[in-house]
């Protein structure tokens, strides 16, 4: 019985250790819960998060803009990437996708709101993506 209790306690500690994300405050005004094992780089307006197995990368850009709509920004970026026609997600957000020179598929979400261009790109796939995206908060 005592052995089972010790094993149960160890299992809880192992699970707890892998379940928590590390909230990071980035220079571009965002706080993101970075999942265990993911690496990140941040420079000025851009954040790049990379999965531990390199199966997925998330890029987030927040920059100041004037006189540009979400649709205009999405159209210009899709053209630059030779991507699909931007599709409206909601009143102010557009999505397009493209295949890069390595054959990897990337989804891009573009929004302009209150003078800020916000771009979220996801290349590849990973089980942590949804949790990371859901954790993004503006400070």
User: What per-residue confidence (pLDDT) applies to 139?
Assistant: 86
pLDDT tens track for 108-137: 999 999 999 999 999 999 999 999 999 999
Sign of CA dihedral 87, 74, 132, 65: negative
Q: Which CATH architecture has domain 22-138?
A: 3-Layer(aba) Sandwich (3.40)
Q: Strands 105-113 and 93-99: what pairing?
A: antiparallel
pLDDT of 10 above 90: no
- The structure's pTM equals 0.82
Report residue 109 as tokens. 């979400």
pLDDT tens track for 65-83: 999 999 999 999 999 999 9
User: What per-residue confidence (pLDDT) applies to 20?
Assistant: 64
Q: Would you list the DSSP string of the chain?
A: -HHHHHHHHHHHHHHHHHH--EEEE-TTSEEEEEPTT-EEEEETTEEEEE-TTSSEEEEEEEEE-SS--HHHHHHHHHHHHT-PPPEEEETTEEEEEEE-TTS-EEEEEEEEETTEEEEEEEEE--TTHHHHHHH-EE-
């Amino acid at each position: 019985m005592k052995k089972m209790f010790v094993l149960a306690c160890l299992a809880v500690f192992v699970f707890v250790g892998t379940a928590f994300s590390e909230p990071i405050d980035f220079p571009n005004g965002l706080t993101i819960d970075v999942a265990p094992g993911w690496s990140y780089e941040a420079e000025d307006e851009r954040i790049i998060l990379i999965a531990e197995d390199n199966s997925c990368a998330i890029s987030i850009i927040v920059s100041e803009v004037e006189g540009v709509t979400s649709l205009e920004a999405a159209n210009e970026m899709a053209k630059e990437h030779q991507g699909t026609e931007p599709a409206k997600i909601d009143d102010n957000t557009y999505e397009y996708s493209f295949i890069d020179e390595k054959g990897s598929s990337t989804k891009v979400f573009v929004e302009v709101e209150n003078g800020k261009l916000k771009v979220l790109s996801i290349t590849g796939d990973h089980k942590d993506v949804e949790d990371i995206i859901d954790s993004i908060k503006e400070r």
